[in-house]
Structure 1
Amino acid sequence: MPVVVFLVWLALLMPSLNFLVLILCLRSSLMCPEGCNCSAEIGVVRCTNRELREIPRDIPEDTSVLYLDSNHITSIPEGAFRELYKLRELYLSNNLIDSISPGAFRELGEDLKLLDLSNNQIRQVGREAFGKLRAKTRLYNNPWHCECSLQELIETLNLDPETLNNIMCDSSLEEEYAGQPFVHLLNSGINFCSIHQKTTDVAMLVTMFCWFTMVISYVVYYVRQNQEDTRRHLEYLKSLPSKPKNPAEVDAASTGL
């Protein structure tokens, strides 16, 4: 008897369930960014080659795979991927990205397995932009400026090993490093952070020398100015006419003699 009751209840409830599923699907499609294709069933959002200039703001929270590749995106602001805790793959390759804000990827969950930033215009980015991200990251084919910050980034991130040799130095503090794979330079024993420290020390030494020279110059100028003022004052005193003596004082002086 309870089984029959349950079946009757389920039959009555089915239209409501179907309606609820329809509402959820409709809501998911309404939340899909304009110009993108969203698959509610598997959580894939495709915005490839849509001429986007910025990260869409209405990405569904249940997105697991997000394609933003082959667009005109130039920057990634902080909080661009807020609340996308289920995201597992993020594709940002083939854009014009040259600016990544600190903490841009910090809010992504630990489920993120792949982050593709290849083929962009990134020259510099601090490791603080990635937070504690452990996703396999692709950074190749960017015009990197090879210095200490890039070395720290490579030591921090879980880079895709198949693309490591394609992280090239477009420019560097040392001209001979330009055009070479950054990882090869590191493997050859070059420490960009020590170079950076030496450069900083030299800059500080030059600054201190300039400051010391300025102080000495001011002291010399001050002494010379005082000497010149003193000389002028003495010349002025010498130029003053002598005070004539009183006749009474002259007679008293004569009498005394």
Structure 2
Amino acid sequence: MVENTLSRVLFLCGLLVAFSQFALGCPSKCNCFNEVKVFCSGDAVMQIPIDIPTNVTELVFLETSVDTLTSAGFARYRSLRKLIFISNFINNINPNAFKGLLHLTNLEISANPLSELKPGMLNELTELRKLTITHNAIKTVPCVFFEKTTQLEILALQGNNISHLCSLLFNQLVNLQELNLGSNDIVKLSTDLFKPLVNLRILHLNNNRITEISHGTFDMLTNLTEITLNGNHLSKIYQSVFGKLTSLKKLTLSSNSIKHLDFNPFSTLHNLTWLTVERNHIKCLLSGVFDDLENLIHLSLGGNQLKGIPGRIFSSLDKLQTLVLSKNLIEKLQNTAFIGLESLTHLYLDHNHLRIIEKNTFKNVTNLAVISLQNNSLTMLAGDIFDELYNLISLNLQNNHWWCNCSLTNFRNWIIENQDLTQLSGMVCEGPPHLQGKLVKLVKIRELNCTLPRNVPQNPSFKSIETVGTKDSVAEEPVIDCKGRYLYDGSINIFCEVLTCKDINVKVSIWNMTTPIKHSHFNTKGEVLCPANLTFTITTV
């Protein structure tokens, strides 16, 4: 027992001695972790502490008062892998500041008042893989700045004041995979600038002042998968600009001054999955502009000046899942507007001038789950316009100009029946005067001033009186569930779910009525087990 206690005491004493020795090696204004990571922060840190453990591998300076990095200031730290300076006061870096850091792989100097990068500053950082010099005040980058950093894979220079890039700047960066030049003042790109970057995957050029991209600028970037050009001053996009980018998957062109897409700029981008052309000045879409984008999943054309959607303009986009057409000037949707969009699940048409949506507009987009139609000029919609959208879970119709008269009756009935997926709180009658301001869902049928046509049963009921199968059909009778709804134009809608048959012929027999009722047959989406002929008798209750 005594021996065990003595052993524990000796062990704890050993730990105390070890921790004390390490504590003595950690600068008083810094925190040390795992003996190799040092974190220094606070205004009291005026310069690089001289008592940092020499075996440090990661060194971080956050919001200190350090303003200068002197010559060979880190030469003692041969094991350093990561060196980070964020939100300090660094305005001067000696060309030999990083001398001796032969194993450094990650260097960051961000959010400092640094305005100059001196030649030779990176010459000994031959193992550098990631370099981040962002949100400083850099105006120029010396042509030979990256001459020795041939292993660099990620380079971030965004958020500076760079206006010009030397055409030879990236000549040695053949291993670069990601380059961020966003949020600078770049106006023009040299056609030779990116030629050495044959392994580049991601290129960010957003939020600059680029007015034009010359032919051949991106021709060598055949492995590029993403390029962002949003927030520039581009007015035209020519086919040759992206012609060689056959691996491209994501292209962002939003917030430019593009007026037309009439130069077939996307004809070679067969692997593109994401295209954003939001907030431009596009007034029309020419036929075929999207025909070669067969793998596109997301397309955003919001915030333009489109007044209409040409028929079949999206007919080749059978994999498209999201289509954004918000904040345009669209007044009418034709039946053929969305033909081909078999996979579409999200459709955004809010903040347009929509007055008319033709009855069969959504007939071919049966996978739609979300439709946004708020903030338009709709006064009414057909009562069955959304009937075939079996996957619909959200429909926004707020802030339109609903005119609550008899023409709205069928649609009013539909939204009440489907209020679990419809946002009704903002659906308010704009007229007539006696209903102005009233929620559509609270309007009574009698308030709509409708006159019911003669001989229309108000509560139709249905029964199957005959089922005839083919010679190849399953012996069991189909399971049938039918519901009906009368419409104020004198027709009756019959909805049937047949669980065992796909192809159904419906025959309607009229009983106890003098005026014929319009009828039609349709196909369900059930399993293909047997064709059948069904005969119904419509009766009044």
Q: Identify whether the pair has TM-score above 0.5, normalized to the shorter chain.
A: yes
* Residues 100-249 of structure 1 mapped to structure 2, 5 A cutoff: 100-109=357-366, 111-134=367-390, 135=392, 136-157=394-415, 158-159=418-419, 163-172=423-432, 175-185=433-443, 190-192=444-446, 195-197=449-451
Read off the aligned partner of 2:346 and give its amino acid letter.
E
Q: TM-score normalized by structure 2?
A: 0.29
Task: Identify the match of residue 58 of structure 1 among 310, 313, 317.
Answer: 313
CA RMSD in angstroms comes to: 3.5
Partner of residue 5, structure 1: none
2 CA distance for matches of 1:132 and 1:104? 11
Change (3 A) 1:69 1:80: same
Secondary structure of 2:270 counterpart: helix
2:351 is equivalent to residue 94 of structure 1: yes
1 CA distance for matches of 2:323 and 2:448? 39
CA contact (8 A) 2:294 2:318 kept: no
- Choose between structure 1 and 2: higher helix proportion: 1
2 CA distance for matches of 1:93 and 1:139? 9
2 CA distance for matches of 1:160 and 1:94? 23
2:270 is equivalent to residue 27 of structure 1: yes
Shift of 1:31: 11
What per-residue deviation string (whole Å, max 9, x for no partner) do you get for residues 204-237 of structure 1? Answer: xxxxxxxxxxxxxxxxxxxxxxxxxxxxxxxxxx
Shift of 1:170: 0.5
Shift of 1:45: 0.8
Partner of residue 71, structure 1: 328
Read off the aligned partner of 1:46 and give its amino acid letter.
S
Could you tell me which runs of 5 or more consecutive residues in structure 2 were left unpaired when the two chains were aligned: 1-222, 224-244, 250-268, 280-289, 455-541
Change (3 A) 1:29 1:126: same
Shift of 1:129: 3.3
CA contact (8 A) 1:71 1:95 kept: yes
CA contact (8 A) 2:399 2:427 kept: yes
Read off the aligned partner of 1:153 and give its amino acid letter.
F
Higher relative contact order (CA 8 A, sep 6+): 1
Read off the aligned partner of 2:426 and give its amino acid letter.
N
Shift of 1:61: 2.1
- Choose between structure 1 and 2: higher strand proportion: 2
1 CA distance for matches of 2:306 and 2:329? 6
CA contact (8 A) 1:151 1:193 kept: no
Q: TM-score normalized by structure 1?
A: 0.57
Read off the aligned partner of 1:97 and give its amino acid letter.
L
Shift of 1:97: 0.5
1 CA distance for matches of 2:322 and 2:398? 21
Task: Identify the match of residue 48 of structure 1 among 302, 324, 332.
Answer: 302
2 CA distance for matches of 1:106 and 1:70? 24
Q: How high is the sequence identity, in percent, across the aligned residues?
A: 23
1 CA distance for matches of 2:422 and 2:387? 23
Shift of 1:133: 2.2
Partner of residue 209, structure 1: none
Partner of residue 505, structure 2: none
Shift of 1:142: 0.5
1 CA distance for matches of 2:298 and 2:356? 26
2 CA distance for matches of 1:94 and 1:160? 23
Change (3 A) 1:162 1:106: closer
Shift of 1:89: 0.7
Shift of 1:118: 0.7
2 CA distance for matches of 1:74 and 1:160? 28
1 CA distance for matches of 2:436 and 2:303? 32
| Length, aligned pairs only | 173
Shift of 1:32: 6.5
1 CA distance for matches of 2:368 and 2:346? 6
2 CA distance for matches of 1:64 and 1:28? 15
1 CA distance for matches of 2:296 and 2:273? 16
Shift of 1:161: 5.7
Change (3 A) 1:184 1:140: same
Shift of 1:130: 3.1
Secondary structure of 1:52 counterpart: coil
Secondary structure of 2:450 counterpart: helix
What per-residue deviation string (whole Å, max 9, x for no partner) do you get for residues 28-65 of structure 1? Answer: 549969x4699987711111102111125533221101
Read off the aligned partner of 2:400 and give its amino acid letter.
N
Change (3 A) 1:23 1:52: same
Secondary structure of 1:155 counterpart: helix
